[in-house]
Amino acid sequence: MLFKKRMLLSVLLVVALLFVSSFSVMAQDEEVEIFSWWTGGGEEEGLNALIELFNEEYPDVEVINATVAGGAGSNAKAVLKTRMVGGNPPDSFQVHGGAELVDTYVETGMMQPITGLLEEWGVKDKFNQQILEMSSYEGEYYSIPVNVHRSNATFYNKEVLAENNVEPPTDLASFKDALAKLDEAGVVPLALGDTNKWPAGQVFETLLVATLGPDGYNGLWNGETAADDPAIREALVHFKDLMQYVNEDHSALTWQDATQMVHEGEAAFNIMGDWAEGYLKTLGWTPGEDFGWMPVPGTEGSFVVVTDTFGLPKGAPNPENAKKWLKIIASKEGQDTFNPIKGSIPARLDADKSKYDPYLTDTMDDFANDTLTPSIVHGSAAPEGFITAMNDTINSFITTGDVDQAFENFQANHEEYVQ
Ligand code: GAL
């Protein structure tokens, strides 16, 4: 009797164990971990819409939305690198096309090529090829661009400009006149939030494009433009001029805080990538009615590209589900769901324009006609070491105002990390 009872108990135990283990295998199969820095402040709404679309298509797969807050990945990138190097990759992660993807993760052998998937899904030719090429290395593609953001964008509060009789500027000279006039009127002319250093670096990169021209700027990364080109010094002088007009507490604020100053009428202009447009919309503003836009004055005809992409790391715990995620972001529907909310334009060329607001359709036209230049600060143009060094140089330059020192530092940074 006792023996029989024990037998029964053992059988029950085995059955229970089998049940639990099959359940955990199932649970593991049925999730996908997506890593990004899109957390609130206008960043997460687009991501959530994409996750919703994924859930409609794949109701059995749970998306683990792994985010680390901090604009431009100021905290997320380090966390990601630790995970990747430690052999604990997410299933897919946000990464900028260009150096950030290729130098950090492809050349080091941490990513799987996805060329076959692009072919299988018949989407390779649907993308802007210059953008897609930013994800390629030695004949293979390693990630899929979900969007194109513009780094050299400027947004302004229409009411503040009108109240102060300021016309939207058309070049750097008229921009500086407008800033001076607003300053005299007691309005913060230019909102900046560089508690993380990149927003100041981003203003500077756009001024480099203004003074070097897009081809000269692109030449900095292929050896055709020397780092002691006088136009770089000129960009520093413009930068110093603009910094006279920023809010005093800039180094305590985030990019969202600065954008919010424009929204609240505390400041007139904000030079920021067009994720600020997504944010202004989530704050309730209508493009063209409440706020206006223009390229950073002096950069008309140039489009400084920021592109968010997703790939497939080696050792991803759920590679099949990661491929489903990639398929969604590569689709026209995925791109047309995400981008109108995020404030970016699609990397595919066959978008449904009716889904995009006047700012975004305007930007699509510029993208089609302008010369494209990769952003430094957002990972595409130069290695990470250069980005950090340049952001440090620019942030201390705000304090010292020493143009010659900053120019020297720029050259030394370029020599150390780029050449
Ligand atoms: C960029 C990224 C954008 C946006 C921005 C601010 O690097 O490409 O999608 O998230 O940072 O966080």
Dist. CA 206–CA 209, nearest whole Å: 5
Exposure string (b/e) for 91-110, b if CB count within 10 Å is 16 or more? bbbbbbbbbbbbbbbbeeeb
Do 29-148+307-368 and 150-305+372-417 show the same overall fold?
A: yes
Dist. CA 294–CA 416, nearest whole Å: 35
Which residue's alpha carbon is at the smallest distance from atom 2 of ligand 1?
72
pLDDT at 29 (0 to 100): 59
Which residue's alpha carbon is at the smallest distance from atom 5 of ligand 1?
72
Domain boundaries, the chain: 29-148+307-368, 150-305+372-417
pLDDT at 255 (0 to 100): 97
Mean pLDDT across the chain: 94
For domain 29-148+307-368, give the fold: D-Maltodextrin-Binding Protein; domain 2 (3.40.190)
* pLDDT at residue 67 is higher than 90: yes
Indicate the burial class of 311 (C-beta count within 10 angstroms; 0-12, 13-18, 19 or more).
Answer: buried
Which residue's alpha carbon is at the smallest distance from atom 12 of ligand 1?
71
Q: Nearest CA to 156 among 272, 44, 257, 69?
A: 272
5 pLDDT band, cuts 50/70/90, is low
Dist. CA 388–CA 70, nearest whole Å: 15
What does the block give as tokens for 273? 């990538």
CA of 212 to the centre of ligand 1 (A): 25
At a CB cut-off of 8 Å and minimum separation 6, what does 284 contact? none
Chain segment 34-46, per-residue pLDDT in tens: 999 999 777 899 9
Tell me the CATH number of domain 150-305+372-417, given options 3.30.1310.10, 3.90.1170.50, 1.10.287.3510, 3.40.190.10.
3.40.190.10
Query: What is the crossing angle of helices 319-330 and 332-342, to 10°?
Result: 70
Indicate the burial class of 181 (C-beta count within 10 angstroms; 0-12, 13-18, 19 or more).
Answer: middle
CA of 37 to the centre of ligand 1 (A): 8
Residue 88 CA neighbour count, 13 Å, CB half: 6
21 pLDDT band, cuts 50/70/90, is very low
Ligand 1: residues within 6 Å at CB?
A: 37-38, 43, 71-73, 149, 273, 275, 306, 308, 378
4 pLDDT band, cuts 50/70/90, is low
* Top mutation candidate among 198, 254, 306 for ligand 1, by most atoms within 8 Å of CB: 306
